[in-house]
Amino acid sequence: MKNQMTFLLLSTLIITGCAEQRGWTPTVDTYGNPNAYRLNQDMAECQQLASHASGDAVKEGAIGMGAGGLMGAAGGAAIGALAGNPAAGAMIGATAGGLGGGATKGFQSDEQYKRTYNTCLRNRGHRPIN
């Protein structure tokens, strides 16, 4: 059981690490933009705001891993009970649910970061194109 939990935690951290795109910056079209001279300052400020608003992908992944693991364990135990081994079912369900929940929360955090970054730039008069 301890090996399963270690595997689950490491797998989730790897998956959410892949989701983490904090090095990502949007491409901004500055043609005809009267605020182009402020772009570097606005990008730095919007990056900070987006990081704050979206949370940490690894932390969010860990939360998702816990919730998914609990739901998976419950479902797996029920299915395992029908098959005659509820403990094995719970372990398999916890692993699968934890991986899925962790990855989902990590990717959602990353998408929130990108949306917030782009919205901030648009609100400051810039035109992000990705």
- Asked if residue 105 is part of any domain, the answer here is yes
Tell me how far apart the 2 most distant CA atoms of the chain are, in Å.
70
Query: How does pLDDT run across 37-71, given as a tens digit for each residue?
Result: 999 999 999 999 998 887 755 555 566 566 666 66
Number of structural domains found in the chain: 1
Q: What is the pTM of this model?
A: 0.55
Query: How does pLDDT run across 4-37, given as a tens digit for each residue?
Result: 556 555 655 555 455 455 578 999 999 999 999 9
Among residues 126, 92, 79, 115, the alpha carbon closest in space to that of 7 is found at 92
- Asked if residue 106 is part of any domain, the answer here is yes
Angle, helix 2-19 to helix 57-83, in steps of 10 degrees = 140
- Asked if residue 25 is part of any domain, the answer here is no
- Asked if residue 118 is part of any domain, the answer here is yes
Mean pLDDT (the chain) is 75
- Asked if residue 111 is part of any domain, the answer here is yes
Domain region containing 73: 37-47+57-125
